[in-house]
Amino acid sequence: MRNDPAVKLIDSKGLRVDGRRLDELRPIKMEVGILDKANGSAYIEHGKNKILAAVYGPREAHPKHIALADRAVVRCRYHMAPFSVDERKSPAPSRRELELSKVIRESLEPAIMSEYFPRATIDIFIEVLQADAGTRCAGITAASLALADAGIPMRELVAACAAGKIEGKVILDLSDIEDKKGEADLPVALLPKSNVISLIQMDGSLSDEEFRQALDLSTDACRKIYEMQREALKLKYHIVRDGTEDKEEMAEVKA
């Protein structure tokens, strides 16, 4: 990350390039159960990010040598579609995608009751259709919803959001230009009910005070996103009747 003086990210009124306040989330939409062939699925729009998550399992481990006698093996594949970024990327898994697959799996594992399914596997697939910074956090949020939709026993949902620093100011939920031109990025994943942080990473540098401020912003945002997740799950089973036509709702929150 670097701070480019030619690009003004915060105006004289304290508003960011997209008109948000420093502590404001991007608009978020969530929908659950949109893929018929998967055991569980979810779709999220977080800002301009558009991400699908699908879950298969629990099912018999294959190949058998990966099976664990005391719990299920959780596997995760994070992938960015070639058309998800401005310059077409290779469809082959990149080093970053392999790293984020591991990071996302480790952030979700504390919430999954994998001990109920020995010698089984639970497979999570995350496909980024359009990227706009914060895809790992949005992917975690969507994957957690897909796990719940699949009926996988979970201790609680996992919600994720990032904070960072631009032009010396700590901000919430960086957009693409803020991520590229900013000074720091702090992704956080949270189990809100137990207040357990399952992921925390940092790119850039923050003072002790800035770190605490960014962490507070991220965890507060995770709790708001958690409430959106709950509403999205409820709406899957809520039918609004309008005359003779049934309409399914989609969870939408503009923070």
What Å distances lie between residue 227 and 19, 36, 115, CA to CA? 24, 25, 27
**Does position 243 have pLDDT exceeding 90, yes or no?**
no
Map tokens 């949109």 to a residue: 34
Predicted TM-score (pTM) of the model is 0.89
**Does position 2 have pLDDT exceeding 90, yes or no?**
no
**Does position 166 have pLDDT exceeding 60, yes or no?**
yes
Encode pLDDT of 228-237 as tens digits: 999 999 988 7
Q: What is the chain's Cα-based Rg?
A: 19
Encode pLDDT of 83-127 as tens digits: 999 888 888 889 999 999 999 999 999 999 999 999 999 999 999
Identify the structural domains of the chain with CATH numbers, from first to last: 28-249 (3.30.230.70)
Going by C-alpha positions, the residue among 163, 80, 165, 76 that lies closest to residue 112 is 76
Structure confidence at residue 240 (pLDDT): 39
Identify the band that residue 6 occupies on the pLDDT scale cut at 50, 70 and 90: low
Identify the band that residue 58 occupies on the pLDDT scale cut at 50, 70 and 90: very high
Structure confidence at residue 248 (pLDDT): 45
What is the pLDDT averaged over residues 195-213?
96
The token pair that represents 133 in the structure block: 């910074």
What Å distances lie between residue 79 and 32, 36, 83, 133, 168, CA to CA? 20, 20, 12, 14, 32
Type of residue numbered 18: D
State the DSSP code for 24.
Answer: -
**Percent of the chain at pLDDT above 90?**
82
Report H helices in 6-118.
Answer: 95-108
CA contacts within 13 A on the Cβ side of 58: 20
Dihedral angle sign, alpha carbons of residues 190, 186, 98, 28 = positive
State the DSSP code for 229.
Answer: H
